[in-house]
Amino acid sequence: MKTYHLHEGTVVIPDGWRDQTMNVFRLPGKNGGKEAAIIITRDYETALESPLEYADAQQEAARKAFAGFKPLGRSEAVLGGQPAAVVDYQWRANGTVMLRQRQVYVRHQGAMLTVTLSGVVSEFQNLEPAWEQVMASFQLLDRNDEPDVAPPSAALSLPFVFALSTAERHLHVYEDEADACRQVDAFEVEDGGWVFFSSTGRPLTVSFLAKNRRGMFSQESGKYMLSPDIAGVALPLQQRLRGATLVKPLAPLETMNSVEVQLAAAGLSQGVRGPAS
């Protein structure tokens, strides 16, 4: 059994379950400006042991994924007493906004941890004091009860589901699959009006459990479910965000910038290819 300490309290997790959470600490923008974030993600799937090798692999993925990608630096460091790698880079989101990220990679307890500072280029210097404080305080805790095998669904373990209307380009964020299927009209789904994605931006396919029924004077909505796109044909959300507007936010994904930060972090940690905007 493991006791986890959260911001709100503690919880005991049975053996065999592994922490696959993403920690997001958000700093709202001033006077309507873009927000910033510090994000911690965990990659249990990588075979790379060296943080420097992992940094190089992630930079190559970012170079192929992000429009206007520009590396700004790469160095060795120590985080929580362990060897780490640091990279800085920037890219252009939505064709106009220049974003910058600083990432630290460190291997710990069977996972490669990535700590990311993300913000607009023009404000990044103002974020560095907070970043230095976070890095100086970072401690790695020893845990001897982590499982050796990753759960098959690790890539989809976060609960959020994105739904994008194909006509209006409206992006909705739902708590999970059940919430999305309950709220998005089955007739519109059948007519191709919506596409769905996991919290990492990976496409989800629709399977109808009960067909829609259309009569002359009435109609009855069917029921459908979502599942990972095994065929891998559909485009990820990262490649479909251009021109999209967030109309149904869900904390902490309350702005388009926070959605982009979420997808960027998930994409880099999982090697997702394709532009982020």
Domain containing residue 79: CATH number: 3.40.1000.10
Note whether 21 and 83 are same-domain residues. Answer: yes
- 108-147 pLDDT, tens digit per residue, is 888 899 999 988 898 899 999 999 988 888 888 775 544 4
Task: Identify the H or E element spanning 179.
Answer: helix 177-183
Written as six digits, the tokens of 146 are 């982590």
Note whether 126 and 198 are same-domain residues. Answer: no
pLDDT of residue 271: 38
Note whether 133 and 48 are same-domain residues. Answer: yes
Note whether 116 and 174 are same-domain residues. Answer: no
pLDDT of residue 140: 86
Residue 226, in any domain of the structure = yes
> Which pTM was predicted?
0.52
Contacts of 201 (CB under 8 A, 6+ apart): 162, 236, 237, 238, 263, 266, 267, 272
Note whether 207 and 129 are same-domain residues. Answer: no
Contacts of 150 (CB under 8 A, 6+ apart): 18, 44, 45
The sign of the dihedral angle between the CA atoms of 110, 238, 247, 28 is: positive
Query: Whose CA is closest to 208, among 191, 197, 16, 200?
Result: 191
Domain count, the chain: 2
Tokens 């590396």 belong to residue = 71
Q: Render each residue's pLDDT in the chain as its tens digit; 277 residues.
A: 677 777 678 888 887 777 777 788 888 776 666 788 898 988 888 888 899 999 999 898 888 888 889 999 999 998 888 899 999 999 887 777 888 999 999 998 888 999 999 888 988 999 999 999 888 888 887 755 444 433 333 333 457 899 999 999 999 999 988 899 999 999 999 999 999 999 888 889 999 989 999 888 888 999 999 888 766 667 889 888 888 999 999 888 888 888 888 888 766 444 333 333 3
Contacts of 35 (CB under 8 A, 6+ apart): 26, 27, 28, 29, 119, 255, 257, 258
Distance, CA of 200 to CA of 272 (rounded, Å): 9
Query: What's the domain range around 58?
Result: 2-137
pLDDT of residue 114: 92
Written as six digits, the tokens of 188 are 């519109």
pLDDT of residue 147: 41
The sign of the dihedral angle between the CA atoms of 155, 175, 276, 196 is: positive
Contacts of 104 (CB under 8 A, 6+ apart): 77, 79, 84, 85, 86, 114, 115, 135
Residue 199, in any domain of the structure = yes
**Do the beta carbons of residue 242 and residue 259 sit within 8 Å?**
no
The sign of the dihedral angle between the CA atoms of 185, 189, 194, 198 is: positive
Residue 268, in any domain of the structure = no
pLDDT of residue 187: 94
Query: Whose CA is closest to 255, among 35, 10, 9?
Result: 35
Distance, CA of 222 to CA of 17 (rounded, Å): 35
Residue 261, in any domain of the structure = no
